[in-house]
Structure 1
Amino acid sequence: MKPFLYLVIYKQWKQYLLLFGILLSSLGLIWVLQKTINQTFHIPIAIQDLDQSANSKTLIKQLKQEPILEVSTLPLDDDYIEESVTKKEAVISMQIPENYSSQLEQNDLQEAILLYGRDDFIGNISLEIVSQSLYNQQIPYLVHTHVQEADTNVSINQVKSKLTDKTPTSNVDFRSLHTSSNRSLSMSIIFGLLLCISSVQILLHHNLKQNAPLQRLYLAPFSKLKLYGLYIAAHTIVLLIILWLSALLMHQQLSITFYLATLFVIIIYELGISWLLFTINTLSHRLFMALIYALAITLIYIYLQF
């Protein structure tokens, strides 16, 4: 066993460090990219306020307070507000008409707001948020109308004040789930990318493919099994460490079932990589086949998470 340890481990320790460094750097890059995407995800909407009233400014203020929205204002002389959407500068472009305040007071906002938007999932989310803000602004006037119909002399300001005082503060009892998961699509995608990147080991360990020494080594009983087994075990340990670090970095609670399933995938993956390394003579062919094989294993691994 000592010759195999010397050949696969001792003589290749720099390559293992380099492989670990490449995978760790790739993981760090994925983490930074994920953080950047999460921090910069906002839905841009453009608003043209032709009314310039207290009510229209209140509506814009309410929309600006939505954490997911990024509100920009359009010039009053812009006659083509839909271009903000067609040029992909905004998901929704809306126009507050000149008589918005009076229509709001008369509870007559049907077809008052001119709005252009993308016909997709993000556009529907934006439309829902805008509709909710419009509805919230109409509530005091709806209540005021019903109060007047009951022959009660109450001003709209009194209604607004009463609604503000009586509206309860909504507190959502959010509880994060810390139970370990048997499946994780996001984690499988991240680790699948790292598996593809780890195919660089074909280049790092290319000097192991020496036909004459290997032929002499294979004369010993079970030598091929020992060579393949040691190579697979060493790289499996490296990839398991990377998987564990990935779970820590991405705050993933994964069960032992997930780790065992991933271990099985890693062994199958390394079995194919080791066969390519010790069997295919041409380096370019080995590298190409390793990339295709890594991609196939990654797709199967991700599919199993559904």
Structure 2
Amino acid sequence: MKPFLYLVIYKQWKQYLLLFGILLSSLGLIWVLQKTINQTFHIPIAIQDLDQSANSKTLIKQLKQEPILEVSTLPLDDDYIEEAVTKKEAVISLQIPKNYSSQLEQNDLHEAILLYGRDDFIGNISLEIVSQSLYNQQIPHLVHAHVQEADTNVSINQVKSKLTAKTPASNVDFRALHNASNRSLSMSIIFGLLLCISSIQILLHHNLKQNAPLQRLYLAPFSKLKLYGLYIAAHTIVLLIILWLSALLMHQQLSITFYLATLFVIIIYELGISWLLFTINTLSHRLFMALIYAVAITLIYIYLQF
């Protein structure tokens, strides 16, 4: 076993280090790209505030606090607020009427807000967020009206304070962080890209393909099995470390089932790569076939996540 360790591990340690560095750099680049995309993805909405009241300004403030909304204000003398949508400057444009504050206090917001929006998925998301903000602003007034019907002398400010104090904190984030997933499409795409990049190992370990020494090595019993097994084991460990770092960096909670399934895919992948490395003589042919094989394995791997 020592000759194989010397050949596959000891003499190739620089190549393993370089492969790990390339994969780590690629992972860092993917992470930066993902962060950039997340930061630049905003839904633009335009608002014309004709009321200029505390309630209307509170509504605008609530919408501005939504992380995926980019809120812009329209001039008060703009009579064609729908042009913001038709010119693709905004996904939706809405007009807060002059009597918005009084309608809110009277719980009469039916058809109060004039709104134009795109008739698509993003437009529906924007409409849902605006509707939720309107509903949240209306809740204290609904409660206040109900309390007044019970002949209880309570101010609207007292109702708001009580609602704020009694509203429970959401446990959604806590549960999401502690529920490990058996499947992850995003993680499979990221790791699939890294698998394709790892096909460069064909180039890094090209000096292992020496026909005469390999033929002499194959004379020993089980030598080919030991050579292939050691090569596959070494690269499987490298890829598993990269997978673990990927999950850590992308904040993915993955189950043992996911890791075992990925381990199986890695072994199948490395089995094919090792066969190409030790069988195909021409380097360019090996590299091309390794890339095609990596893409095929990646597509199968991603398909299994559905």
Give the TM-score band, short-chain normalised: 0.7 to 0.9
Cα distance change of structure 1 residues 86 and 2 upon mapping to structure 2, 3 Å threshold: farther
How far 1:244 sits from its partner (Å)?
2.5
Distance 1:58 1:202, change over 3 A: same
**1:59-93 CA distances to partner (integer Å, 9 max, x unpaired)?**
32332344443321122344443343345443322
Offset at residue 287 of structure 1 (A): 2.0
The one-character-per-residue Cα deviations of 1:76-121 (angstroms, maximum 9, x if unpaired) are: 3444433433454433221224454565566654444222223333
Structure 2, unaligned runs of 5 or more: none
Which range moved further: 166-175 or 204-213? 166-175
Deviations 1:261-292 (A, max 9, x none): 22211110001111122222333332222122
| TM-superposed deviation, 1:7 | 2.7
> Kindly tell me: are residues 92 and 209 of structure 1, through their superposed partners in 2, closer, same or farther at Cα, counting changes over 3 Å?
same
Aligned-residue offset at 1:294: 1.1
Return 197-206 or 39-48, whichever deviates more: 39-48
Runs of 4+ in structure 1 deviating by more than 6 angstroms, as ranges, are 140-173
1 CA distance for matches of 2:132 and 2:72? 19
In the comparison of the two structures, how many residue pairs are matched? Answer: 306
Partner of 1:289: 289
Structure 1 gaps of 5+ residues are none
Deviation sequence 1:194-217 (CA, Å, 0-9, x none): 111111111211222233443444
Identity %: 96
**1:133: how far off?**
3.0
**In the superposition, relative to structure 1, how do residues 161 and 253 fare at CA in structure 2: closer, same or farther (>3 Å)?**
closer
Partner of 1:276: 276
TM-score (normalised: structure 2)? 0.79
Shift of the 66–234 alpha-carbon distance from structure 1 to 2, 3 Å rule, reads closer
Taking structure 1 as the reference length, the TM-score comes to 0.79
How many angstroms apart in 1 are the aligned matches of 2:158 and 2:135? Answer: 19
How far is 1:4 from its partner? Answer: 2.9
Question: Which stretch shifts more, 216-225 or 20-29?
Answer: 216-225
CA deviation map 1:115-154 (0-9, x unaligned): 2223333322321221233344456766788899999999
Per the TM alignment, residue 224 of structure 1 is displaced from its structure 2 partner at its CA by: 2.6
**Cα RMSD, aligned residues only:** 3.8
Partners in 2 of 1:159 and 1:183 — Cα distance?
45
> Would the alpha carbon gap of residues 165 and 204 (structure 1) be closer, same or farther in structure 2, given more than 3 Å must change?
closer
After the TM superposition, which of the residue ranges 59-68 and 266-275 deviates more from structure 2?
59-68
* Inter-CA distance 162–14: structure 2 relative to 1 (3 Å threshold): closer
